[in-house]
Copies of this chain bind each other. A is one copy, B any other.
Amino acid sequence: MVQNSICQLFGIQYPIIQAGMIWCSGWELASAVSNAGGLGIIGSGSMYPAILEEHVIKCKAAITNNRPFAVNLPLLYPDIDKHIETIIKHQVPIVFTSAGNPKIWTQKLKDQGIKVVHVVSSAKFAAKAEAAGCDAVVAEGFEAGGHNGREETTTLCLIPLVRKAVKIPIIAAGGIATGRAMLATMVLGADAVQIGTRFVASLESSGHTAFKERLVALKEGDTMLSLKKLVAVRLVKNEFYQQVAQAEASGASPTELATLLGRGRAKKGMFEGDLVEGELELGQIAALIDHIKPAAQIVAEIAAEFETAKQEVGGW
């Protein structure tokens, strides 16, 4: 397996990073991925400060051989000071920031020896992240699950644009679930991949079993970017999504959409398994995923398929 800038930056074996996701990526998933040679990430966006601390402690205890792990930190998190305190107190080695301005926290984290990666959906914001001192960027395309950029740039278009815009390493995200897609995005200029949806379909993911089962049953066209007047988010087209789509088609205002969305729908759907009324955040590539597997097996399969595809290209 290629030992590149991202492997060196994080001290990992494979440039395979498991996305930090709300309600789905706690210490069990993050530690399993890190122990398998990738980089596991705890998604702190859905955690109260005390819960994050518990997950960080358990993650460190579960990881062997001093391997690294990371925390994903949405910069709009209301109690962000407390999350930052936990991260520094427990010496989390890497932080992935998202949904906010990287200027505010990057230097403070770096002063503590923490590596900082910011998630962007455009070359313009990638350049801002580089200027803010980030060590790398995640460039996430339109096909990704969950929150998404306004420009709707797909991963295939985004990676070359980001490659032109920055010198720091790029982690491709959105639409990647296999070693072939990993190689494809690296051909485009990425140095690593961040994979979300396929790791939701792991035994260690904290998503509800019903949610995982829905994931592996999804076909093409079963997710859609929604709530664009509010904050664009890719959702499974369940009953809740259809309510939103109808409201949008008849010209609903942002306030009306916010009322319809209400509170706690992501937890209800992904963590509690209410597939009808819940908000189910998944990427388009769910259509390609047919099995729930141990996270270590997912990492191994992706790494092996990457090698096979690489050999194949060598023969062309």
Enumerate chain A interface residues (CB-CB to B < 8 A): 2, 122-124, 141-143, 150-158, 160-161, 164, 174-176, 178, 180-181, 183-189, 220-221, 224-225, 229, 249-252, 284-285, 287-288, 309-310, 312-314, 316
Contact = CB atoms under 8 A, between A and B. Distances in A.
Contacts of A225: 152
B188 A123 contact: no
A150 B245 CA distance: 14
Contacts of A184: 156, 184-185, 187-188
A155 B181 CA distance: 11
Given A124-B220, A152-B221, A160-B181, 12 more contacts: A142-B142, A143-B156, A154-B284, A156-B176, A156-B185, A157-B287, A160-B180, A160-B288, A180-B187, A186-B316, A249-B251, A310-B316
B316 A157 contact: no
A188 B183 CA distance: 9
The copy count of this chain in the complex is 2
Contacts of A185: 156, 184
Given A250-B251, A251-B249, A178 B160 contact: yes
